[in-house]
Amino acid sequence: MAEPDVTGWDVREPDAQRTHDDGAPLDLRRTLSTLRRGPADPAYRRIGDDHWRVVRTPDGPATTLLRQVGPSAVRLQAWGPGAEHQAETLPRLLGLPVDDLPLAHPVVADARRRFPGLRVPSTGDVVGALVPAIIEQKVLGADAFLSWRQLLHRHGEPAPGPAPAGMRVPLAGAALAALPSWSWHHCGVDPKRYRTAQVATRMADALERLGPHDLLGAYRGLRSIPGIGVWTAAEVGSRAFGDTDAVPFGDYHLASTVGTALLGRRLEHDDEVAYVLEPFRPHRFVALRLMQLSPHVQVERRGARMSRVDHRGR
């Protein structure tokens, strides 16, 4: 079967559509880029200027097609039972303009000039952000992305509407909790991460009540789950809550990126990272993203690398 035409609009009459323009600079591609879990994510695909996302909403699955149609404007078309929900929550997804970022270093100030429309997305989907983050704990990104891809291809349902071929709907919390251990094992997820995911998905209803209205409480709730620490909670915060201050302490490349950008040398410990990032509070995550995007920051890749491990054979 030929793939649907995904280069234009109105490829099939949408169930909902909306255009949002808040008048502030917006870089849709870079703002949404953190939502994609690897280059072949079955739930996110970018084709030219079209951003396809498949999500599970409180009303059911939805396929969304987003395109930037102006310096501050985005148009959305959506299909499926959750289409109206996605249209209603589009402004939240795109995040708020960050107008008061402290430009405490010339590298950050330069990157801010280059990327004025960078924002932090806010999906509102806690479980949808948490499960991939758990899968990514302490493994190479390539292995985690493969596990996520296999999980969706084996157990996710086809995306509604005219989504590109191969796109899948992420599983609901209850469906993930019901998956037996060997299903996770066949997708390359080791027992420790499986147990964390099981506990978290069994609490899906409670987790979905967490949000940016009480960030401290939300992080406290996330970290109360065995196996979820500062890094995993921050990964959720920068996607589901739109938290502009969600620093992923413990990330393998964090010390190198921050140290190289701000001091010209690699840092060794998270307490050093926290100290040099302090002037950028309450937008430390935005500052970090700008460092990652800056053409002036070339992080030296040295030292021991994590080894690839195929947990399916264990």
What is the residue-wise DSSP string for 38-80?
STT-TTEEEETTEEEEEEEETTEEEEEEEEEEETTEEEEEEES
DSSP 227-253: T--HHHHHHHHHHHS--TT---TT-TT
Query: What contacts 24+ positions apart, CB below 8 Å, involve 301-308?
Result: 306/138, 306/139, 306/140, 306/252, 308/140, 308/142, 308/143
- Residue 43 and residue 152 in contact, taking contact as beta carbons nearer than 8 Å: yes
DSSP 237-295: HHHHS--TT---TT-TTHHHHHHHHHHSS----HHHHHHHHGGGTT-HHHHHHHHHH-T
Q: Which helix or strand (DSSP H or E) is residue 19 part of? A: strand 16-21
CA 167 vs. chain centroid, Å, equals 17
Q: How far apart are CA 3 and CA 1, in angstroms?
A: 7
**Chain centroid, CA 205 distance in Å:** 20
Residues 6 or more apart whose CB falls under 8 angstroms from that of 26 comprise 68, 71, 72, 73, 74, 94, 97, 117, 119
283, 102 in Cβ contact below 8 A?
Answer: yes
Is 7 buried (19+), middle (13-18) or exposed (0-12) by CB count in 10 A? Answer: exposed
* Per-residue pLDDT tens digits of the chain, which is 314 residues long: 344 444 455 557 999 999 999 999 999 999 999 999 999 999 999 999 999 999 999 999 999 999 999 999 999 999 999 999 999 999 999 999 999 999 989 999 999 999 999 999 999 999 999 999 999 999 999 999 999 999 999 999 999 999 999 999 999 999 999 999 999 999 999 999 999 999 999 999 999 999 999 999 999 999 999 999 999 999 999 999 999 999 999 998 999 999 999 999 999 999 999 999 999 999 999 999 999 999 999 886 554 445 555 555 55
pLDDT for the residue numbered 7: 47
- Which residue in the block uniquely carries the two structure tokens 């410990």? 269
Which residues make beta-bridge pairs with 144?
A: none
**pLDDT the model gives residue 307:** 53
What's residue 310's pLDDT? 57
